[in-house]
Amino acid sequence: MSILVLAEHDGQKIKISTLQAIGAAKQMGSPVHLLIVGNQIREVVADAQSLENVDKVLVAEASRFNHLLAEDVAPLVAMIATDYQALVAAHTSFARDVLPRTAALLDVAMISDVLEIHSPKTFSRPIYAGNLVAMVQSEESIQVLTIRGNRFSPVNNSDSHIAVIEAIDIPDLPINTIWISEDKQASDRPALSTAKVVVSGGRSLGSKEQFESTLGPLAANLGAAIGATRAAVDSGYASNESQVGQTGTQVAPDLYIALGISGSIQHTAGMKDSKVIVAVNLDPDALIFQVADYGLVADLFDVVPQLNNALAKN
């Protein structure tokens, strides 16, 4: 069974989420081919060539792929995927934008957020905001799926492995969407999706200024990323990129600290796979305590300064 994995990269290296997707793809069969799309991606290709379990690296390089718009990438992926039995990618915002379009172009059903691969056509995935896990079987001619990265072991680079490189001829596809600009905020904090420690706050922080002044120093002391509930984002306390939950970023850090978060199903669906969850909330009946490994019924505005002082001493 030939598997195509859609790669994500930062312009220099393959992202860990793709390394996990390759690990998942290997469970389905072989050969495994990795598709890299972008512009000026020589370093990325060199990194990918030594990845274990990757038999061939397909390179689609063109200036039109500078910003990897889903409207541009999906038709290309659909064209290439017809030669494979499965198309796999990590369950990231990029793949959630590209793969549904690709599946529609291929006229097949897509399976998202796969937690476990039982066979090349049988998978487990969450339903009802993660409260249940369904086992599904697909009889589509091409399996199109995204996988939850933290459920699969990433592959490594190996000095003894060199994959075949194949350049893809870029077809003359119409350009329906044009990149205009982006406004990115520079940050020294780790990326939310891959951080080992995440500090998250809810609407009880009270304001944007208080959200940052309370969570910022703690995150700095812990080398953590900052997350937020949807309520905090909707209230303007934090950016959309900070949202953790079913409709935001799904995280699984070593440590997740939930400050003033009630614990709605929509939020816990995005963080309950964290290895250790610590919750601080004034309400002893808050739902967050049901998923927390450690819970403290207290005022976060009292707890956080004490925690910062203790960290400073160490």
Annotated binding-site positions: 203, 229-230, 243-247, 260-267, 281
Torsion, Cα 89 190 289 275, to 10 degrees, reads: 60
Binding-site annotation, residues for FAD: 203, 229-230, 243-247, 260-267, 281
On whether the CB atoms of residues 110 and 144 are closer than 8 A, the answer is: yes
Q: Which two tokens stand for residue 39?
A: 């512009």
